[in-house]
Structure 1
Amino acid sequence: MNVKKEPSGKDAKPQFANAKQRRTARQVIDVQPVKDPESIARTINVEEFIDARKFEINSMETALKNATEFTGNMRVFQTLPRHMRRRAASYNVKRLPQRFRQRALDQVANHGEKPQPMKKSRKAKRKPGAIFEMFQKRSKENKRWLDTHLWHAKRMHMDHLWGYMVALHRNDKSTKSNFRASQHTCIVHDASYTTCLEMKGNLSDIGAVMGRVSDPTFMSVGAKRYIGGDKQGSIFIHRAGEYPAGSIALVSFFWIPSEEQNEERILWVWVHPSAAPDVFAAISEAITLAAAPVSINNLQSHMTRFELTGPRSHALLQEILKPDASCDITRAGRNLWSSLKTLRSPTSIPAGVILGMSIMDPRLSFPPKMQQRDAEIQSSHATQQSLNNALVRWPANVSKSTLHDPSVRQVFLRSKPTDAELIAKLQKKKNQPASSIIEDATLEPPTVPILLIQRNTHNASLGDKNANEFLNGWDVVLPAGTVAVNLWKSIIFAGAHATGIYDRRRLCFETGVASFPHDYPETAAHVQWATQQMTIKRETWERKPVAKRCNYAKLKVLDPFASHFARLVGSQYQSDSELDLKPVVVLHSVKLVAIIQDFLKKQEATDLQVLTGLCRDAIQTARPGFSMNHPFSLKDAFVRCRLTMMGRGLPDEHGIVYRASADGIAYWTQYFNRRMKNKSIDGEDDDEFDWSKPPSIENDAEIAQVLDKFPPHDLMIGHVTNGGFSMANGQGVAIACCLVRGLLQAKEGSSVGSMDDAVATGKPMKMFVLVRGPRGRICRPASLELLV
């Protein structure tokens, strides 16, 4: 034992070499130091005598406590020989020998430990009620599980996004299979994470509240087209009084049908979960400012929403959904759904229409059997005539349903009856397999109220003549609970291809549609998502060795991990490395983008002030009397674009868009003219620089003319938000956001007469720009067109 002196002179705690010395030291009885034994005897001091005896008694008790085998700090199981010790003996007394159990129980009682509850057996754990309770405990408030979580978790990669555990992508290679399914069959996506906000109040009051926070150029929620509840609309939400800034999210909405005009109306607003808190706060603030008797409630996790896309989505739902013939409320919707049976795809149906029905439990018709798609439509003249009448003039009162009733939604949280009870009842009733007695079964579960919403994605850059079937589909809204899982299984067994968040974004990219929040840099939801992705990508890049990672400094790329639109705002490029990501102003109105598109077509029109005046007049025309707290200006405004590469090259995310200089236009014009000339002679298209060719003086000189020749920052007009190889186009395509004033400058600089003949398509070039990826060494030419 070694005793060290502290700086103060006092003895520090002794240090021991092993546990045995420490145990022995604890058993030694401490003694008080003895006074000088040679001193003369004196009288006894009572207080000192009592203190000395008290010290000795405490020392003896402490030593006994440390030395006694079964009363010290050591537990009974620790005193057993090594060959009798068990790991479970520390909390299970029955693991100890019989003669030691009572002492162990006494120790447990003295320490105040609660006895361990008896564990449930595996059979008890797998009961449906126990499984439901276990899943409810796992599904935390900030990490909710969708109803189809178990199905997705076995087949897809899951991640925590926006307060939900959602599926990102399939575990197998599914990019091409998803694209084929969207073109020829059907894909399905569980979009139950979408938040539904319920507003209650008078029709005019709700319209006034939403008018304060919506884009004035969008059709109002109180328009005659929507108030009947038969169609779904969309608006862009802004913070009150901040238009055109303060963008929050693009939302969809529809009214719940009502018989009387003066009674309380209900409006459902569907918003992406990343922007749901901001939308809820903006509407609540607008209600306070308007002093309107309107209430707003969050119906998060109350309903389930499935998105079906593809040409076979209509036929698949016709086979799965079995309407309840005894429901009087949904008779009009049921009859209309029957008349639509001969339709080939949902493309023919008017955009945004809503159908309300009550269907039988999907388990009664499981598994569904899909019929092959006939080459010709076989229907009678009367059926075809009724179908044509419905498509020309959509009937009214076909969206009625009981889905808006909370008591009705509460019934479907659990399956009643269960699968086993349902099969037993049906087999007992008919004494034959349950699959053949669906129509005559009397003991059936309650009918399920649903809403069918036609989803028609309009993209002005593609044009109506190029609209494909995989742009459209059906949205199915039904109560949350086990009934949603049953319907999901029927959809999958019918042949639908399940997709995740990444697959959904990829489909939007293929169809040329912006994906929220990834392609919406004007919103705070995009900034939050981009900041998270920037951190992940930066950490991945920093983990690589210096010799194995891209040198962005040499490539003169300041923001390789994010699209920093804020650097482009202002009179000159902001090269501050500490500049934070923040939202910018992006024009997302169909009317304003159409005005800009028409303005760009005019050869002589390049004045930004004139274009600003046209947009300002369009806003006042759309909503007379609308006042803006800030002056409307297009100086720092962006617009969404679609870029198509004019040759080789794949535009990558966070790429840079440049307007071409005069030298760049001259070079690429000469290059394309030479390429078309060689193609007309050889019959083959000699693509751009072939790096596999043997080096030659002419080839090296041409490569050196464009390699590592980066345009100055003054020519930057935008960034790429999503890009890559498009299987629908067979070439590189990107979605970007570009400055409006940058497009005017690019149009003015690219007005070269020979540029219209640079491409072999025979069509005039829309706009000529240059694109460079964050890892690219060449700025490649691309054509630009606006997205509406």
Structure 2
Amino acid sequence: MASDSLQYDAALGGSVQLPDEVDSERFNEERIIEIKTMLRNIASTDKQTKLMHQSLPLHMRRRAMTYNPKRLPRKFRVIHLSQFSKSGQPERKKRPSRKYRRKANVLLEEYERRKRTNVWLETHIWHAKRFHMLNKWGYKIPFTPTSKAYRACYRATSKHCLLQDVSYFGCIEIQGEELLLSKRLKQFCSEKVGLTIVAKAFLEGKRSGYVWIFERDKFPYKCIGKIRFLWRAGETDNRRTLWLFAHPVFYRKLVVELVNAFNLKDTYENDMEMDVGHKASKTMNNPGTIRIPKYVNDSLGVTILELKDTINYFRLTGPLSHSILSKALKVCEPSENVNQNNWYSEWFQQTDNKNIVDEQFKLWHATCKLTSSGELSPGIVFGLVIKDPRLNRPCKRTKAIPSVIMKPEPLPECNFLTACSPLWNTSIRDRIAKEMQSTHALNSKKNKECLVPGEYCSSDGSVQPIPIILMQNTGSQNGQFKRLGYGAGWDLIAPAGYGLPLWQTLIMWGAKPAGVKELDMQALETGVDLNRIPDTVLGKSEADIEYEKKWSKYFARPSNRRVNYKKIAIASPFRCPWSQLVSEWSVLKNSSFFVLRDQEVLSKVQMAINRRFNIQSAGLPSQCLIPISLTMKSRGNPGDNALICLPHRHDFRQNKQQKQVSDNSPVYIEELRKDPNQKERLLLRRHHLKLLKRLRCRRIREKKIRQRKNPGKLIRISKPNNQELVKQQLSKMRELWLPEVPETIRNQCSRECFGYVTQCSFSLTEANVAALGYVTADGLKKLFKICSKGTLKVLVRGTKSRCYRFASFKIQNE
């Protein structure tokens, strides 16, 4: 360069003169020393502070290197393993392969572990692959199919056959003298509701029935629930046996009530507390290992056995249910399978049992020619001994259709022999489960002996038969209320161990499987919903669960995304406050209420709705709720928990004018109101935030004071101890948003509320939006005064809408 340029370097503190060229040889020699030092540090494990996988370039690093040495280059793996062995970290085990996890013994251990929290049904494995499963009532039960099945399930109930596994219903066996049982059991039911447990129609055991159970001598209050019962047929002496099938929600309460009524004692000394669950983890496949709780009163001679989870209970609904059973169940002939070494050969040796099998064989073959179960006597019971259902399956799924008969033959007379069954015997039930052949062993024998698949082979004769009990369901008996015969079918009771084989056989013959969700569909279509009755144990439990779910979801949203129910005049959007509603309408300010089930009174109310009777002469108690079925007169779906209100006279005039011009708009729209608690909520929130900020500033000041006293020491701010303060603020805000106890239910809006809707949806039977609900007696009387002429109508309003629409209604009297 012509002249040297002076440059200033602040790090050196003066001017320096930079060279015009770089000596490459000298530069490389100095870099070689640095490269050797770097390579020596990488290869050495003694002095470096970083781990091997941390020393790699960024583009070669992987997150999995920390626990998987194979992610590193091969030449660095030994160093990586030596580093981790010195650190003492445990070796991460590889997840077992799917082949190992699917081994039979490993699967069995895993299933037993998962059964500890919720009891599995025998059909659980079949359902788990095809259904959404639900933890409910202490069971793992199928909720709904994974495929779209709502309309398909309805078609099955109306035209085909719907199959449901309701084995979670608990069975209670009562043994004792007939007179004593009749006297004590009368205290739990009433003849006003219908036929009781001790009615003459059921005592012979030829029919099963349903009955409403109340607490002892508390009718009509304190309703427990609706149960199914069956007396044992063919008992010669005065000692009788009775089975009660109860829902798992009130099963324990029913057991306690029965034990107290007969003054029974638990035979097991270590299990005297009945409120606590008696049984450990149980499997229906091994009923012999299940401890069956037993309660005895030696002086009265009464015994109660809890047979819960020891038998299978299937429900078939639809007109083709009888055809499917006639195809799927092959009854043993009287002289068949008597020389084999099984329970049937020993049981058949008795003369009475030979007559039983002969009568059942004749009757079943005669009834197989029928097209529907509705042609039989209501509630008839068949006790059958059938062949193993695994021997009677079609090669592919087949729809069982009844054969057309030109002249129906008369049925033989049903007697107590046709209802007898060895399934009542506990020792036979246990022996059947223990001597059951596995499906693998059965198929192995058939493969060796049977040349043509599906044909009969000699090994089939050695398979033990199975005793079952069939109980007929009548379906709708009131054609004016619902379609006649809708919901008819059969209930099938089978021994433990044969639940899955029997289930698969029924499916192969054309039954449509369904879950718990489809029970709501059936309830709406039949007009009877047993899960949402306000005064029962099940209804209260389900209402509380639903309220907690909706209440938590509502307050999980931010305040600007919540529906302000104060402004639209809705006092209780998530549940129906029946006690407060009844007390506001009745003269007696009492919180107790009951659902009216008196058949005679309900018939009078329906006649009054049809203008054939005076409602004042019906004798309606003021503390009762009347069940009704509603049908919307125009468009709109108000949804569950909708309000049932009394109309004004000008609402009828408005509706008439709208009909003339085909106007489907609402009859009346509620005016928006001011929220009286809005300012208070804003002030409360502002003061709360100020208080939290003040507490934080106080903690910061304390930290600064401690830092001055201890300079150089690390001081952390203390955690806030204001959990209780935040909880109180949250409860206050929720009370201002939505109080748990409303001020009024009757006058919450401009139309007087006198009832609530428990279930509402589009009914495929009615081809319209239908609903089930309950109204107060005094409110219904006032409706008669408003609607002095013409058809009675009520106004229905949803909880998220301000629109009122008319709906007609009928009394539920099924």
| Same structural fold, with TM-score higher than 0.5 when normalized by the shorter chain | yes
Determine if the alignment matches structure 1 residue 199 to structure 2 residue 174.
yes
Pairwise mapping of residues 713-732 of structure 1 onto structure 2 (< 5 A)?
713=748, 715-732=752-769
Aligned to 1:747: 784
Deviation at 1:600, TM superposition (A): 4.6
- Displacement of 1:233: 1.2
C-alpha offsets along residues 140-195 of structure 1, whole Å, 9 cap, x if unaligned? 2x510111111111111111111111111112221111112222221111111111
Contact kept? 2:760, 2:772, Cα under 8 Å: yes
Q: Give the alignment partner of residue 426 of structure 2, picking from 377, 401, 406.
A: 406
The equivalent of 2:487 in structure 1 is 471
* 1:527-585 superposed Cα distances (whole Å, 9 cap, x missing partner): 121111111112222333444443322211111111221221124599x9xx9xx8730
Matches within 5 A, 1:56-75: none
Per the normalisation by structure 1, the TM-score is 0.71
- Distance, in Å, in 1 between the alignment partners of 2:668 and 2:573 is 21
Matched, 1:435 2:435: no
**Measured at CA, do residues 127 and 658 of structure 1 come closer, stay the same or move farther in structure 2, by a change above 3 Å?**
same
**For the structure 1 residues 462 and 563, does the alpha-carbon distance in structure 2 shift closer, same or farther, using more than 3 Å as the test?**
farther
Give the one of 797, 800, 808 matched to 1:772. 797
C-alpha distance in structure 1 between counterparts of 2:257 and 2:757, whole Å: 29
Alignment-derived partner of residue 686 in structure 2: none
Q: For residue 635 of structure 1, what is the aligned residue in structure 2?
A: 622
Separation in structure 2 between the aligned mates of residue 267 and residue 452 of structure 1, nearest angstrom? 16
Secondary structure of 2:549 counterpart: helix
Cα 1:133/1:407, change in 2 over 3 Å: farther
What are the Cα deviations for residues 12-34 of structure 1, in whole angstroms up to 9, with x where unaligned? xxxxxxxxxxxxxxxxxxxxxxx
User: Does the aligned pair in 1 maintain the 2:188–2:217 contact within 8 Å?
Assistant: yes
SS at match of 1:351: coil
Kindly report which structure 2 residues correspond to 1:274-313, keeping only aligned pairs within 5 A, or say none. 274-288=249-263, 292-313=300-321
**What is the CA-CA distance between 1:285 and the residue it aligns to?**
2.1
| 1:558 paired residue among 568, 571, 577 | 571
Distance 1:245 1:254, change over 3 A: same
Give the structure 2 partner of residue 660 of structure 1.
Answer: 647
Partners of 1:209 and 1:597 in 2: CA distance? 33
Asked if 1:513 corresponds to 2:528, the answer is: yes
Q: Which residue of 2 aligns with 1:758?
A: none
Give the 4+ runs in structure 1 shifted more than 6 A: 79-83, 116-125
- Determine if the alignment matches structure 1 residue 180 to structure 2 residue 162: no
1:72 maps to what in 2? none
The code of the aligned residue for 2:603 comes to A
Query: Partner residue of 2:468?
Result: 450
Matches of 2:512 and 2:499, distance apart in 1: 17
The structure 1 residue matched to 2:191, chosen from 187, 204, 216, is 216
Distance 2:785 2:323 in 1: 50
Which residue identity lines up with residue 648 of structure 1 in the other structure? Answer: R
2:760 and 2:771 in contact (8 A); partners too:
yes
2:808 is the alignment partner of 1:783: yes
Distance in 1 (alpha carbons) for counterparts of 2:159 and 2:199:
36
Q: Please, which of 200, 217, 224 is the counterpart of residue 248 of structure 1?
A: 224
Cα offset, 1:639, TM superposition: 1.5
Tell me the SS of whatever aligns to 1:650.
coil
Per-residue CA deviations over 1:328-369 (Å, capped at 9, x if unaligned) read: 343322221111122112121221111011111111122366
Letter in 1 for 2:784: K
- 2:146 corresponding residue in structure 1: 171
Structure 1 partner of 2:405: 377
Deviation at 1:280, TM superposition (A): 1.4
- AA at the equivalent of 2:200: K
Structure 1: segments with no counterpart, 5+ residues:
1-78, 90-95, 613-632, 676-685, 690-702, 756-764
- The aligned counterpart of 1:492 is 507
Distance across 1 between alignment mates of 2:96 and 2:433: 25
Q: 1:452, CA displacement in angstroms?
A: 0.9
1:585-734, aligned counterparts within 5 Å?
585-602=594-611, 605-607=614-616, 610-612=617-619, 634-672=621-659, 674-675=660-661, 686-689=662-665, 706-708=668-670, 712-713=747-748, 715-734=752-771
Three-state SS of the structure 2 residue aligned to 1:152 is: helix
**Alignment RMSD, CA only?**
3.7
Per-residue deviation at 1:241?
Answer: 2.2
Give the corresponding residue for 1:227. Answer: 203
- Contact 1:651-1:773 at 8 Å conserved across structures: yes
From the superposition, tell whether residues 558 and 413 of structure 1 become closer, same or farther in structure 2 (CA, over 3 Å).
farther
Question: Contact conserved, 2:369 with 2:402, CA < 8 A, in 1?
Answer: no
* Structure 2 gap segments, 5+ residues each: 1-49, 55-64, 70-76, 265-296, 337-347, 349-353, 673-745
The whole-number CA distance in structure 1 between the counterparts of 2:135 and 2:434 is 25
Residue 583 of structure 2: SS of its match in structure 1? coil
Matches within 5 A, 1:386-425: 388-390=410-412, 394-413=414-433, 416-425=436-445
Partners of 2:569 and 2:774 in 1: CA distance:
21
In structure 2, the partner of 1:504 is 519
Q: Which amino acid aligns with 1:477?
A: I
Could you report, residue by residue, the CA deviation over 1:610-632 in whole angstroms, capped at 9, with x for unpaired residues? 433xxxxxxxxxxxxxxxxxxxx
The alpha-carbon deviation at position 281 of structure 1 amounts to 1.6
Measure how far apart 1:81 and its partner are: 8.7
- Contact 2:547/2:575, CA 8 A, preserved across alignment: yes
SS of the residue aligned with 1:588?
Answer: coil
Q: How many residues are paired up?
A: 616
Deviations 1:491-521 (A, max 9, x none): 112221111111111122112222x222x10
Q: 2:128 maps to what in 1?
A: 153
Partner Cα separation in structure 2 for residue 712 and residue 639 of structure 1: 20
TM-score (normalizing by structure 2): 0.69
**Cα pair 1:213 1:238 within 8 Å, conserved:** yes
1 CA distance for matches of 2:115 and 2:388?
26
Q: CA deviation at 1:266?
A: 0.9
CA apart distance, 1:372: 6.2
Whether 2:347 is the aligned partner of 1:342: answer no
Residue 604 to residue 532, structure 1, CA distance change in 2 (3 Å): closer
Aligned equivalents of 1:258, 1:459: Cα separation in 2: 29
Instruction: Among all aligned residue pairs of Structure 1 and Structure 2, give the percentage whose two residues are the same amino acid.
Output: 24
Range with bigger deviation, 208-217 or 298-307: 208-217
CA contact (8 A) 2:326 2:368 kept: yes
State the alpha-carbon separation in 2 of the partners of residues 668 and 231 from structure 1: 50
| Structure 1 position 370, deviation (Å) | 3.7
Q: Which residue of 2 aligns with 1:737?
A: 774
Q: 1:394 to 1:535 in 2, by over 3 A?
A: same
TM-superposed deviation, 1:131: 4.1
The range that moved more, 125-134 or 207-216, is: 125-134
Structure 1 residues 345, 591: CA separation in 2 closer, same or farther (over 3 Å shift)?
same
- TM-aligned CA distance change 1:459 to 1:569, over 3 Å: farther
* Contact 2:646/2:783, CA 8 A, preserved across alignment: yes
Question: Counterparts of 2:577 and 2:127 in 1: how far apart (Å)?
Answer: 35
The alpha-carbon distance between structure 1 residues 132 and 455, as it changes in their structure 2 partners (threshold 3 A), is farther
AA at the equivalent of 2:365: S
CA distance in 1 between counterparts of 2:505 and 2:402 reads 22
Tell me the distance in 2 between the aligned counterparts of 1:743 and 1:573: 12
Partners of 1:256 and 1:404 within 8 A in 2: yes
* Paired residues for 1:122-161 under 5 Å: 126=102, 128=104, 131-140=107-116, 143-161=118-136
1:197/1:268 contact within 8 Å kept: yes
